[in-house]
Amino acid sequence: MLQNILKIIRYLLRRPKRPKGSEVLTCHLRQSGLPHWTSFAVKRSSVENDQYGLSHFNWQVDGKNYQVLRTGCFPFVKYHCSSRPPSDLTFDNNLYTWLKIVNFGIPCFVYGLSLWSLVRVKEEVKTSKGSVTIHFLLLEDRNSRN
């Protein structure tokens, strides 16, 4: 029993550090040339969740503002980013968080499971802690405004 506990502790200590979700978001936007919009998912196990509790928020990258819709959809975290002027998204963020709580996260869970079969495109995002694979439902046109 003690040996198993020690093995687990050693594994946790040796486990490579994962990049923060915010770093993956920023690196993807930069790597994509700051597109007008993007929508992708990243495996929850690939990142450190430093944006917990944020469902709709502003995100600045190199002077360009994005409004980000973010949801945990096990086993992924899904991001939808649109280039827009900054605005107060407190009400929206609270509303989306409340909706997730009221429906016990069931729609998010079902969406996450369905992503497994719907993902068509993968891309590597380079971060300070190594590459992270992000997933797209469709190939994105980086110049598209819709």
Using CA atoms of 92, 35, 121, 126 in order, give the dihedral in degrees to the nearest 10. Answer: -100
Q: Which residue intervals of the chain are DSSP H helices?
A: 2-14, 21-31, 90-102, 106-118
Q: What is the spatial order of strands in the sheet that 121-127 belongs to?
A: 56-61, 64-73, 76-83, 37-43, 130-136, 121-127
Backbone angles phi, psi at 72, to 5 degrees: -80, 125
At 76, the pLDDT band (50, 70, 90 cuts) reads very high
* The two three-digit tokens of residue 119, written as one number: 């993902």
pLDDT above 70: percentage of residues in the chain: 94
Question: How remote is the C-alpha of 26 from its chain's centroid?
Answer: 10
Whole-angstrom distance, CA of residue 88 vs CA of residue 90:
6
At 87, the pLDDT band (50, 70, 90 cuts) reads very high
pLDDT tens string 23-48: 999 999 999 999 999 999 999 999 99
Q: Where are the domains of the chain?
A: 20-133
Report yes or no on whether pTM surpasses 0.85: no
